[in-house]
Amino acid sequence: MNSLKGKTVFITGASRGIGLAIGLRAARDGANIVVAAKSAVANPKLPGTIHTAAAEIEAAGGRALALQCDIRDEGEVRTAVASAVEHFGGIDILVNNASAIWLRGAADTPMKRYDLVHQVNARGTFLCSQACLPHLQKAANPHILMLSPPLDMSRKWFAPHVAYTMAKYGMSMCVLGMAEEFRSLGIAVNALWPRTVIATDALNMIPGVSRENARKPEIVADAAHAILTSPSRERTGGFLIDEEVLAHCGITDLSSYAVVPGQALLPDLFLD
C-alpha cells in the first residue's frame, strides 16, 4: 500500500507546521484529515487556524474536518474523536503531533510551564491514543505516530531543559509501551523525529536559531507518509529519523527540503 486514499487521519496540532504538512501530504492521496488543534481564531503572531488548515487540505485534494480541541482537556478530546467518527465513519491513523516547547533549565522553569509541557506532550499523547484506540482496532491498517525523539538517557539532553526533555520522552515512552501492548491488535505505534531543525513557528522559542538553517516541514511529512502507508503488523515500536526513512525509500537527495539550498544545517534536539 502506498496511498492513504480514503483513510481517516486524526492529527493533533494540525493547524500549522509539521502537523499541517503531514495533513497536506495525506490530502494529496485523497485522505480524510481531522484537524484537531486549539487555534480557531487568527493570531497575527502565530499564523494558521483549524479553518485555514482545513481549507488548504481540501484544496490539496483531501476532505477536512476542523475541530477545536485542547488535548489537555479529556472531555474535548473524547468529543473530538466522537465527532471525527461520526463525520468520517472511523479513524485509521492517529498522529500525535501537538507539542509544547520550553527550552529553559530547572531554575528558570515556572511550575505553570512545567505543567503545560507535561499536560500537552506526555499526557495529551496518552489521552489521544487511548481515545482513538477503540476505532483504530476496527481499521484495516491502523497506525499511531508520535512526533517524539529517540530515548537517549545522556545527561546532555536533560541538563539544558530537563522539564521539556522529560515531557518529550514521555511521548516516546508511550511508543515503547503501546507498541508492545497493541502488537496483537495489529496497531503500529512508532515515533518520528527530524535529523535537523525544522522551519516552523516553534523556532521562535529557540534564541538565535534562523529558519535559513533549517529544513522544510515537508521532509517530516514525506517520511510520515512512508511510515503510515507501510503494513502496520510489520513496523512497530520504532524510533525513526526522517532522512533515514526517506533513504530506505530510495530518496537520498534532500536538497529540495532545504529552506536555503546549500546553507549549513543546524542539528536538532536529542540527536548528535
Q: Which of 114, 164, 169, 257 is catalytic?
A: 164
Contacts of 198 (CB under 8 A, 6+ apart): 17, 18, 214, 215, 216, 217, 219, 220, 268
What whole-number distance in Å separates Cα of residue 121 and Cα of residue 123? 6
Residue 204 vs residues 30, 101, 154: alpha-carbon distances, Å: 33, 10, 26
Residue with cell 487540505: 57
Q: How many CB atoms lie within 10 A of CB 13?
A: 26
Q: Is the dihedral of CA 132, 134, 135, 137 positive or negative?
A: positive
Residue 125 vs residues 95, 129, 139, 210: alpha-carbon distances, Å: 9, 6, 20, 29
Q: Is 164 a catalytic residue?
A: yes
Residue with cell 481564531: 41
Cα angle: 224, vertex 228, 230; to 5 degrees? 120
What are the helix (H) ranges across 89-216?
111-117, 124-136, 155-158, 162-181
**In three state form, how does the secondary structure of 217-230 look?**
CHHHHHHHHHHHCC
Residue with cell 473530538: 80
Residue 167 · residue 122 · CB < 8 Å? yes
Catalytic residues: 164
